[in-house]
Structure 1
Amino acid sequence: MSSALSNIANHLTSRTEFSPHWIELARDAVIDTLGCMIAGARDASVQAVTTAFAAEMNGNGTHWLVTGGRTVSSISALVNGTAAHALDFDDNFHPARAHASAVLVPALLAAISRDHPVTGRQFLEAYMTGLEAQSAVGSGVNPSHYNKGWHGTATVGAIGAAAGVARLLGANTEQTGQSMSLATSMACGPKAQFGTLVKPIHAGIAARNAVEAARLAMAGATGAIDVLEKPQGFLDLFGGDEPVGWADNKPNGRHIIETRGLVTKRHPCCASTHRAIDMLLDLKAEYGLREEDIATIDAKVGISAVKNLPYPKPSDEMQARFSMQYCLATAFRRGALSLADFTMSALSDGKKSLLMDKINMHSFTADEERGHERLPHELTVTLTNGEILRRSRLHAKGAREDALGEDQRKAKFIDCLEWAGRPANSVYEQLLSMPRAGSMLSLLAGIWSKEDDVETG
């Protein structure tokens, strides 16, 4: 009898053709994630992880660390995954309700080494396998799973990424399904941790879990292949109030990276703020608004978005990334948001803005949301002269429907490297050749730290 995981694994391993367009989209997502990973390497969350596991990072391993040096694969995935998500600048993937690439890219990096080299094309195909697996698993539980309070990055992200790692390790269909089954037993992460250092560590834990689950499966460990749908399984325990299940999940020939795509973040903060930020900046530009022109700002967002943003008066830079009030006020005042806006000094200055006190946020009702995967966020700006400006937006800038151009993607990558104190040089152009690279390690040598002593052979 077939199961949800066996059906997913069959689909993943039967896909052998990847169009040039899909490969290009995957390349852009990997490059964006590498930039975010480098920018986040000095974050306090990453420092905590590297301090905790300092004994395991003595340079004897074969897997690269964004913080410098080498270690074993599991710790590499943990550190690099935490760094990728540390600044909340990494992409979003709506089908999984996850920061898909912040889990996938570090997990896949931890599966390659001098002893297990791969080409750039192999890496990108494994990335797309993991992305499609995240979508397939997430389709059965979301949005109910996410709305219940589970961080999809830590749960669905880990299960799906395990399939991508399995592909790089040469897994067959059964081993791919077992990789995901084992990862299901490791999946956890409550959204109550948003606004703390644990939130980015969720991505690192998920990447580590994906690597370990795939390696265990390749070594012969097995779990319940019907763990997603069986009693006391993933759907039963993690599905939330209105789970969909996988009975009607019928994948087709087109890849999810094309049909849904990823959201490349324009702003380094929680994605729940992005559509409101985009609308407010558009209104500012269209009407030449000044802060003194505004009486009130009202943002109507999804129920989960309100839960994701519980800090109207943030006390540190992590909370600021999860504050609608701070993000909107700062974006309006500065005309954009940058990594520099989420530091303690910027927070101290930004909280002096009177605009924060004029911003209100509320959610749709459960009845309004029922039956909809997503609803447009709405922004109402009331001016001091009594005029009312209204906008609604279903997709943030950076989504497939309003994608960033290559110049914008390159500028973001360079900003990330400069934030980390790394020279950008021609690294971005080199990474664009990823699909043709004979060695992923050799290609990535351009962004290793000088002290990493990485042999690229």
Structure 2
Amino acid sequence: MTTKPANITEQAARFIEDIAYDDLPTEALAIGRRCILDAMGLYVAGADESSVRMLIDDAREQGGREDALLVGAGMAKVPAPLAARVLGTAGHAHDWDDTQVSHDPAHIYGLLTHPTVPPLTAALVTAQRIGNVSGRGLMVAFQAGFEVECKISEWMLPDHYLRGHHSSGTVGTFGACAAASKLLGLHGAQLRHALGMAASFAAGIRCNFGTMTKPLHVGRAAENGVTAALLAARGFTADPSALDGRWGFAQVLAGGFTDSKLEQGFGNTFTIVSPGVSIKPYPSGILTHQSMDAMLKLVTTNDVRPDEVASIVFHAGSNILNPIRYPIAMNHLQAKFSMAALLAMMVVHRRAGRREFTDESILADDMQSMQRRITVQLDPAIEAMGFDLIRSRIELTTHDGRTLVQWADERYRGGPNLPMSDDEVAQKFRDCTDGLLDATRQDTVIATARDVTGLADAGELARCIATDG
């Protein structure tokens, strides 16, 4: 915990002020392009969700200054904060956006953020509001927000998540604020006031996991980060050291920072490079993916048909079982947090993508029947191994009496130790946008994202994913 005075707000502000394109490591740029392409697909897929359509309709009704494109509404434009709310929610609507990595064995996975969507969303809408922002300028702002967001998340005590806060909603606000502030050129007191407002705006609690409000946390983080930066540019004030001290963000919401980590500083090593970021193969919580891959391996290796399954017992620790909390999923949002639904999906469909995560699919007889054959158990032996890795074991019994066992690979596909290839990231984009963008448009977006730092106008990123919904 923090036992000595810290100056995290000042460090964050100086980093945002000083970072330039030439400061970005080559690997950070390469990973950043992958993260941006991944998010482009998620924005398009999310804009087709009923929850996001409601936000689009709400933004249309509110109207206002035409700052930035409203995702899923063709070429319609709305004020930057509103555009950020909708775009950010779309980016997290499927819970398919990338995840921060940590090597701290005490760092519960849920504490880590979905780091790309808040700062990228803020950068995209702010760039459109300003105009004439280059792709390099957008990349710098995105990387600044990504780094600030991840370091705050890494340094905070895990109690933040244990208390019930949703880090992507809370800490994501700082990432969005940093990105917007960088593009607006805030410095000195203005920048510190923007971070102070972000500290008060940050919100999101875990009781809303499995509902429409969970992705709205990320939309609000993007919206609030942009709002904080815009208000600070007008001269609105806040505490200039709001991350620090007895009443600061970290102390109030997490019990403080970890002293031993504070010497890392911002940007000395970029988090996007080390320990890295994972691009998710499935639209569900990242701590379910190893088990989903294990289930898929078990049924494909042994050629087990759904009608052959008598029962499945899933053994895991509380690090999986506590947040993945729905025993039986009754809609696609609950399915993202239901081990029974996720394992059933791999048995019934042998895949888990946008088309499998629909209410119709989850409520189908085959999925409901399979879920009810799955039992989830807390395993004391696995629990005793600790939470540094995600561990689980699946035992499947067939009607003819066979018992098949599969342990999950402790590495996870998409993470730094088993990353998706560039082609796999592009294929994920195509899967996300299948039926929403034609093949030519898909090719255009992939090429634009991969050449983002060569763009004369970063607004092209937003224009190339414009759809009418």
TM-score by length of 2: 0.87
SS of 1:265's equivalent?
A: coil
Which of residues 459, 465, 468 is equivalent to 1:441?
Answer: 459
| Whole-angstrom distance in 2 between the partners of 1:316 and 1:353 | 11
Amino acid at match of 2:201: M
Match of 1:236? 251
Question: Is the counterpart of residue 86 in structure 1 residue 86 in structure 2?
Answer: no
Which residue, 383, 388, 391 being the options, matches 2:407? 391
Sequence identity percentage = 24
Take 1:422 and 1:319, find their aligned partners in 2: how far apart are those partners? 30
Whether contact under 8 Å (1:263, 1:400) holds in the other structure is yes
User: Residue deviations 1:138-187, cap 9 Å, x none?
Assistant: 12324321122111111011122211211111122554443222101001
Q: Which residue of 2 aligns with 1:374?
A: 388
Write out per-residue CA displacement over residues 403-436 of structure 1, whole angstroms, 9 at most, x where no aligned residue: 1112211111112222435553422123211121
Q: 1:203 aligns with which of 218, 222, 244?
A: 218
Deviations 1:230-258 (Å, cap 9, x if unpaired)? 22332332116xx5445641226321111
Distance across 2 between alignment mates of 1:397 and 1:225:
41
Residue in structure 1 matched with residue 106 of structure 2 by the alignment: none
Which residue number corresponds to residue 44 of structure 1?
50
- 1:99 corresponds to which residue? 114
Shift of 1:34: 1.3
Q: Secondary structure of the equivalent of 1:402?
A: coil
2-structure distance, mates of 1:93, 1:369 = 25
1:32 is aligned to: 38
Q: Secondary structure at 1:361's aligned position in 2?
A: strand
- The reply on whether 1:62 has 2:78 as its aligned counterpart is no
Instruction: Identify the structure with bigger relative contact order (alpha carbons < 8 Å, sequence gap 6+).
Output: 2
Decide whether aligned partners of structure 1 residues 238 and 431 sit closer, same or farther in structure 2, where only a CA change above 3 A counts: same
In the alignment, the residues of structure 2 paired with residue 88 and residue 350 of structure 1 have an alpha-carbon distance, to the nearest angstrom, of 25
Which is further off, 250-259 or 27-36? 250-259
SS in 1 for 2:376: strand
**Structure 1 residue 376: deviation in Å?**
2.4
Query: Residues 321 and 289 of structure 1: is their aligned pair in 2 closer, same or farther, counting only changes over 3 Å?
Result: same
User: Counterparts in 2 of 1:172-321, with a 5 A limit?
Assistant: 172=187, 174-239=189-254, 244-246=257-259, 248-251=261-264, 253-291=268-306, 292=308, 295-303=311-319, 305-321=320-336
Instruction: Give structure 2 stretches of 5+ with no counterpart.
Output: 103-110
Paired residue secondary structure (2:395): strand
Q: Which moved more, 1:431-440 or 1:228-237?
A: 228-237
Q: Distance in 2 between matches of 1:369 and 1:246?
A: 27
Distance 1:419 1:85 in 2: 19
Aligned residues: 446
Cα contact 1:3–1:225 (8 A) shared by 2: no
Partner Cα separation in structure 2 for residue 92 and residue 160 of structure 1: 14
Q: Secondary structure at the match of 1:400?
A: coil
What is the root-mean-square deviation of aligned Cα atoms in Å?
2.7
Structure 1 residues 15 and 362, CA gap change in structure 2 (3 angstroms)? farther
AA at the equivalent of 1:19 = P
The 1:40–1:373 alpha-carbon spacing in structure 2 relative to 1, beyond 3 Å, is same
Contact kept, 8 Å, 2:124 with 2:458, in 1: the verdict is no
- 1:382 offset after TM fit, Å? 4.2
Contact 1:97–1:142 at 8 Å: present in 2 too?
no
* Counterpart AA for 1:338: G
Structure 1 pair 389/425, CA: closer, same or farther in 2 (3 Å)? Answer: closer
1:443: Cα distance to partner?
Answer: 4.9
